[in-house]
Amino acid sequence: MKLRKVTAASAAVFALALTATACGGDDSGNSGSSSSGGGEKIKIGIKYDQPGLGLKEPGGDFSGFDVDVATYVAKELGYEPDQIEWIETKSAERENALSRGDVKLIAATYSITDERKQKVDFAGPYLLAHQDLLVKADSDISEATDLNDKKLCSVTGSTSAQNVKKDFAPKAQLSERGGYSECLSALQTGQVDALTTDDSILAGYAAQEQYKGKFKLAGLKLSNENYGIGVKKGDTETLNKVNKALEKMVSDGSWQKAVDENFGPANYKNEEAPKIGQLVQ
């Protein structure tokens, strides 16, 4: 094999190119400068601990409705599943993760609110959830007012249980736990009478194999929670592409399929797919 001689000048040019590549970086949440595939990766923020929505499996795989939606969107943006880098994004860090460029997108039960829209842009909404109650399958609790003198569980720091006590059941006894799994265990053993948060989250937990048939959703609509995909503020190009991808996901049936696969075992009565683009301007 004939080797090409590298001159000092060409070596200098090569070194300069490497330097430019190393310093050029970007804040798009991608490992390279391209915004659509081409061998690059896209970083997407999700929850790691919400069954049915965003869950990191023991073997390292990821599952859930948010994961399915984000995977579909990434595909439309030009990224294959193996080009996605899933980043755990806790609720309190979502806005910072986008503004710093740690991630390109966030699909993590991210409710669209006026306050959040001051800091990030939202594509979607892609799911309309409601605050609800999860109770034992044989429970006679059917209304929020039935929780008076009952024990109601939610996670520490959540406002869901306080909202129920304030607006519906002032005599409810609030019981906070460190996580939803702890609330489920308390509900199963009778330490509490109900668990409250978004119905999509409740359905995801109830759909787990070990809980099938043990719990039911009360079917209440105590609030409206429109989930959107977070995009860095001002990134209109990506926002428009994500909205277009979501519209396609709904129209080709992939959206409903993802709902059925992730929430179906809990008999989750989902709302129709929201109109993409509403509430996000």
Counting residues of the chain whose pLDDT is more than 90, the rounded percentage is 68
Q: What pLDDT, on a 0 to 100 scale, did the predictor assign at position 268?
A: 81
pLDDT at residue 26, as a whole number:
45
> Mean per-residue pLDDT for 226-234?
97
What's residue 125's pLDDT? Answer: 97
Six-digit token string for 188? 């199963």
Say how far apart CA 38 and CA 242 lie, in whole Å: 18
CA distances 52 to 46, 123, 150, 200, Å, are: 12, 21, 27, 8
Round to whole Å and give the CA distance between 66 and 219.
Answer: 21
Give the pLDDT band of residue 233 (cuts 50, 70, 90). Answer: very high
Q: What is the pLDDT of residue 190?
A: 96
Quick: pLDDT tens for 36-51. Answer: 556 799 999 999 989 9
Is the CB of residue 187 less than 8 Å from the CB of residue 194? yes
**Does residue 153 sit in helix, strand or coil?**
strand
Give the orientation angle of helix 199-206 with respect to helix 254-263, to 10 degrees. Answer: 60
Beta bridge partners of 198: 131
Query: In the predicted model, what is the mean pLDDT of residues 169-177?
Result: 94
Instruction: Give the residue-averaged pLDDT of 21-43.
Output: 55
Structure tokens at 22: 């190393």
CB 70 within 8 A of CB 229: yes
* Secondary structure class of 275 (helix, strand, coil): coil
pLDDT at 166 over 90: yes
Neighbours of 75 (CB within 10 A): 18
Structure tokens at 278: 């509403």
Q: How far is CA 112 from the centre of its chain?
A: 12
Which two tokens mark 141?
Answer: 């609790």
- How far, in whole angstroms, is CA 172 from its chain's centroid? 30
Position 15 pLDDT exceeds 50: no
Is 62 in contact with 54 (CB distance < 8 Å)?
yes
Residues 42-85 have pLDDT tens digits of: 999 999 989 999 999 999 999 999 999 999 999 999 999 999 99
Residues 266/204, Cβ–Cβ less than 8 Å: yes
Q: Looking at residue 196, what is its pLDDT?
A: 95
Rounded distance, CA 211 to CA 6, Å? 66
pLDDT at residue 18 in the model: 36
Question: In the predicted model, is pLDDT for residue 197 greater than 90?
Answer: yes
Mean pLDDT for the chain? 86
What whole-number percentage of the chain has pLDDT above 70? Answer: 84
Give 174 or 3, the one with higher predicted confidence: 174
Supply the pLDDT for residue 141: 96
Given strand 194-198, what is the order of strands in its sheet? 173-177, 151-155, 194-198, 131-136, 215-217
At 277, the pLDDT band (50, 70, 90 cuts) reads confident
Asked if residue 33 has pLDDT above 50, the reply is: no
- pLDDT at position 185 is 92
- For residues 94 and 198, what is the distance between their CA atoms, to the nearest angstrom? 18
